[in-house]
A and B are shown apart, each in its own frame.
Chain A
Amino acid sequence: MPKPVLLHKTGPQLVQEVRACIGCNECLYACPALAEPITIDVLNRETMDGPISAPVARFAWSCYQCGACVAPCPVGLHRDAMMMWLKVRLLRSDWEV
């Protein structure tokens, strides 16, 4: 069994990952936490920067880092790390108000 590794990524690494996403939606199909329809381009855009819409925020809060999204990705990206970045953005927004 593989050891759980540290899955957080730095800003530059995250930008690389998001840019490498081909938008196939496989990660979203595999996600047990996603309850409402969200398009991958909206998720990618809001992950990197800018305002976070209510459905994407609810998705970020619901994501429990199970890693189900990693295996189906055809280009080997870590959507769970991107979701963690989104969680950190939401967490930091508390201090920015």
Chain B
Amino acid sequence: MHIDGEKGYPLFFFSKSRAWVTSTLFGLLIIVLGGALYIWYSHTSNDPTPDSIVGFGYAFAGTTFLILAAVLYTLRRRSRRRGIGQLHTALQWHICFGVVGIVLLFMHSFGNFNPRSGTFALYGMIALVISGFVGRLLDRIIPRLIADEVRKALTAKGEDRIEAISQKLEALVHHSTEEIRGFSTQMPAVQSSTTTNAPPAGERTTRSLVPLRPASSKELPFQAPGQSLHTSWDLAYISLEETPQEMSRNAAQHRFVPDKKSTLTRPGALIPGAQEHMAALENAQRALQREQFYRYVIRYWRIFHVSLALLTIGLTLWHIEYALQLLIPTLLHR
């Protein structure tokens, strides 16, 4: 496959979309305004606490931004009225609102990190935003790692590498088996040249059991065709021919079994090239395992992020309920 256009796959790249520019500018504006108010109020007021008027303002604004971050993106994802790039825009605003929300809620705390419900809610939100950033980072890194594993699992022509290697291995084993079979069929000729009364290969196993019948003799009248007289009537008769064990020991293929120090005992020596194919097969299988692992990471990180969002909502509701219990009596007694 030849490519004349764009080439390569950078691990980190940055493309500035209009949605990214707009949302970043908006987020920076809100954070700068919130920061300026924080500095001014901390210096001028003698009550820079979370339950001051400005503190409530930060709480209200921060919670609103976090709700917008969660709701707008979810609604856009589920909406049927979509245009190309709209979901990307919604994702950029989701990130922007999430970051602005956490910064405003951090300001709402005014540095009070006592172990109360609000602190737990803040910690939950910080963990949520951090998990979102880590998720974005994983979204950039992991697909490239998956692509690298897929590259290993496919041949240059785009075929399944495991299938291609399996076919090559099968052909190799078939070729070696044919060679061994060819060698076995040549054995009787070798034996007959060295032993004058050697039996044909087909009768090798029963040869010693038919000592009285020469190979060229006719069938006896009481014998069915092809059937031999298995034992001698003379029980004292001892055959001088080779026993099946002796024949097996002297068989040609067994005589070629090398000793332990021989290079032929190395794995794959009798099937050249098989080890390389086996190693390539293992590499491809490992690539598939890694691909699956990376996909698990992407999926479970998203589930982790959503779970943290649900936990943070629970902690925030707990904090609001706790704060209202303190606020309502105060407001009623004024």
Taking Cβ atoms with an 8 Å cutoff, the residues of A that contact B are 4-8, 10-12, 14, 25, 28-38, 46, 49-54, 56-58, 60-66, 68, 84-85, 87-94, 96-97
Contact = CB atoms under 8 A, between A and B. Distances in A.
Given A33-B88, A54-B5, A92-B151, A66 B302 contact: yes
Contacts of B302: 66
Interface string B295-328: 1101100100000000000000000000000000
A73 to B, nearest CB: 14
A51 B9 contact: no
17 contacts: A4-B295, A10-B154, A10-B160, A31-B87, A35-B20, A37-B85, A38-B84, A50-B3, A50-B4, A56-B6, A64-B143, A66-B302, A85-B158, A90-B147, A91-B151, A94-B8, A96-B1
B144 to A, nearest CB: 7
A92 B84 contact: no
Task: Give 9 nearest A-B pairs by CB, closest first.
Answer: A11-B158, A57-B6, A51-B5, A64-B139, A35-B17, A4-B295, A29-B82, A87-B147, A51-B4
B114 interface: no
B83 interface: yes
Interface of B: 1-10, 13, 15, 17, 19-20, 77, 82-88, 90-91, 139-140, 142-144, 146-148, 150-151, 153-154, 156-160, 288, 291-292, 295-296, 298-299, 302
A63 to B, nearest CB: 7
Contact of B84 (A25, A52, A64, A66): A25
A33 B3 CA distance: 23
Given A51-B4, A54-B6, A89-B1, 16 more contacts: A6-B291, A8-B154, A12-B159, A30-B82, A31-B84, A32-B77, A33-B88, A36-B85, A46-B5, A64-B298, A66-B298, A91-B147, A93-B7, A93-B8, A94-B8, A96-B1
Contacts of A68: 77, 87
Contacts of A63: 143
